[in-house]
Structure 1
């Protein structure tokens, strides 16, 4: 069978389990696709073909022995280079960490392997995973396969580019301030940032179908004693009425026309699928949570982060830290206490919204995906980027799940919608996402554009 790399993870796993194709054939196809297109986009920055084939052989041997295999049996997936994989450097996009060889796997890696997945390669991220653009001084720039003039997103930019170009069927990413949701948006695929406590290390999946996100969520969220934040919440919560809120300007976000049109269209798709959709003028606060998240992320240990960035010499990381200095420094115990106190109050306001609505539809970003490296152009461009990403920054502070659903293209630039729900209600996000996806999505996988 040709072009196995084109298949969804669900379809490929079904073929492997039924012995219509082997895990070895799937791995061979994935490696050939990587070799064919990765030189043009630099999405995968570390991989070992012999190890990939060894993993595939182990899956095929388990199937031949009649052993129970997981939902991702034989499915090639990629993992971000900021997460521990035994025997590989956890560079996080840093020359400083080129020799930081992981002695053991992260819980997320082990959960993927327990599900039967084959780890195909490690994907690029910006230095320190700071930015919505993916460049660094150790691995180089990642290009967006849909349009090399726009960012592939970040910090999981390599993950988004890989899955859009058919390098792996699912990609692992991490998301503190949009780092799964934005690469999915920029590369025209789908990405889920789960509730805090669902998956270790703020991790989540990117994929070409919502169905594959659901499978990946189940695999990645298995219990591991090494994750002290893990919560044994069911993947399916109690039924809720199919009622959605839609907001074009959450907390005053200055949303461009193309993005407003995409969010509006997503609402119409939900309505056609039997959902009740109500447009609301605004949401509970987003600006305040975004400010607190930025302080907690960059302000805690700011001077040490800046010193490390100066030693690395990465211009993007330095721009991020220096551009936010006035917002986050100094950061003392009183500021930390205020942030945590306000977090509880703000979460209550948001949870009240989700007592009324199953999901909220709103922009992923105020703008279409940015021109690549826009944040380094000048001070005004830096401020523009951070202002546009309000909805991405705020949601993690609130501990809520957020899903990017890519819905179409403006020319060749992707656009989509963000679906948010209450804590541990990824099932509602995915249910709404599937209804939206049914109305159309950018074609994927694709060959990289010139």
Structure 2
């Protein structure tokens, strides 16, 4: 079995037991990304060398006996509507390609703190406001099972990516079904956490989000296994 086929818990266990290195885990997911993403366009912003460098640092931390988190070395994807340091927070909008984040959003920072390694950023409809995943900035994401069907939205790129093995966990967010519907459409599992369970804001934002969004939008995971 290839490392990209393992669920996050098993991958983390093998890395902690030194049965698999972080570099091997990340490289396997990156190779999977390269092999299947051109067909479905789920990941629209890469960062292979950045991910491999983080994996090398994660292996060094293990070798040095440092304390590690529960997702140490596990490859994950991040949706393009949250800030990830050094990457554009496009939210599927071409005009936002210049909005390059200077720091991580809390959800990305917490994933890194847990040891997870971002390997790519996933597609969303413009402004993350549709039940399909297509936009002028990045194009259309296809359902990996049937190109004639929608992958759902707005976390359609996240669901499609994790369904084909691009990362063990995909980050998504959900206001009116944006994790749950893509999970259903792509045949994976999605969790909408309780409101307030996962902190979230974009440091690159120029103003407060409307109260209705703050009171209904949550950040959560998609994966191939509960």
Same fold (TM over 0.5): yes
**Cross-structure match for 2:38:** 39
**Cross-structure match for 2:27:** 28
**Cross-structure match for 1:52:** 51
| Per-residue CA distance 1:180-238 (angstroms, 9 max, x = gap) | 0000000000001111100123210001111xxxxxxxxxxxxxxxxxxxxxxxxxxxx
Moved over 6 A (4+): none
- More relative contact order, 1 or 2 (CA 8 Å, 6+ apart): 2
TM (norm. structure 1) is 0.46
Task: Name stretches of at least 5 consecutive residues in structure 2 with no aligned partner.
Answer: 201-217
**Cross-structure match for 2:62:** 63
Question: Match of 1:193, SS?
Answer: coil
**Cross-structure match for 1:205:** 221
Distance, in Å, in 2 between the alignment partners of 1:208 and 1:93 is: 25
**Cross-structure match for 1:101:** 100
Distance, in Å, in 2 between the alignment partners of 1:76 and 1:34 is: 11
Q: Are 1:150 and 2:149 an aligned pair?
A: yes
Q: Are 1:73 and 2:89 an aligned pair?
A: no
Alignment of 1:435-446 (within 5 A): none
Q: CA deviation at 1:3?
A: 1.3
Distance, in Å, in 1 between the alignment partners of 2:101 and 2:156 is: 22
Q: CA deviation at 1:64?
A: 0.2
Distance, in Å, in 1 between the alignment partners of 2:61 and 2:49 is: 19
**Cross-structure match for 1:125:** 124
Count the aligned residue pairs.
Answer: 209
| Per-residue CA distance 1:8-61 (angstroms, 9 max, x = gap) | 111111110011110000011011000000000000000111101011011101
Task: Name stretches of at least 5 consecutive residues in structure 1 with no aligned partner.
Answer: 211-450
| Per-residue CA distance 1:318-376 (angstroms, 9 max, x = gap) | xxxxxxxxxxxxxxxxxxxxxxxxxxxxxxxxxxxxxxxxxxxxxxxxxxxxxxxxxxx
Structure with the bigger percentage of helix: 1
Question: Match of 1:200, SS?
Answer: coil
**Cross-structure match for 1:7:** 6
When Rg is computed on C-alpha atoms for both structures, the one with the higher figure is: 1
Distance, in Å, in 2 between the alignment partners of 1:158 and 1:11 is: 24
**Cross-structure match for 1:171:** 170
Distance, in Å, in 2 between the alignment partners of 1:127 and 1:113 is: 26
RMSD: 0.7
**Cross-structure match for 1:136:** 135
